[in-house]
């Protein structure tokens, strides 16, 4: 079945540099530095990236960071828990806006 997101397209990501090589070079240098071992391990960073990928709903990122997590030694339970953490934060961030809705509704109902 054809879909808008073709997993094979992920392999063409570097092609975004064709028309703006300087900007792409800066982005990829930054990206590589961010994901290098630092205060957080590469494994921890991959788990964070997987959770964020679900939050921003990027199928390419979900594919890439699922693979990265497995390659760096994470197991499915850890990966699933990371996704649940992101889901809880995203859900909470949506739900807390109900405070604004209630304030406006109460003000207009007076």
Domains of the chain: 40-109 (1.20.1290.10)
Helix axes 76-95, 42-55, angle to 10 degrees: 50
pLDDT tens across the length of the chain (110 residues): 677 888 888 888 889 899 999 999 999 999 999 999 999 999 999 999 999 999 999 999 999 999 999 999 999 999 999 999 999 999 999 999 999 999 999 999 87
Q: How many CB atoms lie within 10 A of CB 1?
A: 2
46: Cβ contacts below 8 Å, ≥ 6 apart: 35, 65, 68, 69, 72, 74
pTM given for the model: 0.83
């Amino acid at each position: 079945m054809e879909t808008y997101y073709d997993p094979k397209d992920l392999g063409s990501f570097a092609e975004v540099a064709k028309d703006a090589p300087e900007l792409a070079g800066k982005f990829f240098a930054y990206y590589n530095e961010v994901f290098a071992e630092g205060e957080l391990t590469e494994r921890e960073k991959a788990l964070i990236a997987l959770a964020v990928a679900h939050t921003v709903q990027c199928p390419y990122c979900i594919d890439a960071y699922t693979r990265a997590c497995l390659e760096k030694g994470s197991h499915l339970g850890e990966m699933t828990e990371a996704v649940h953490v992101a889901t809880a934060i995203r859900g909470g961030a949506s739900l807390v806006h109900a405070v604004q809705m209630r304030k406006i509704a109460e003000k207009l109902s007076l």
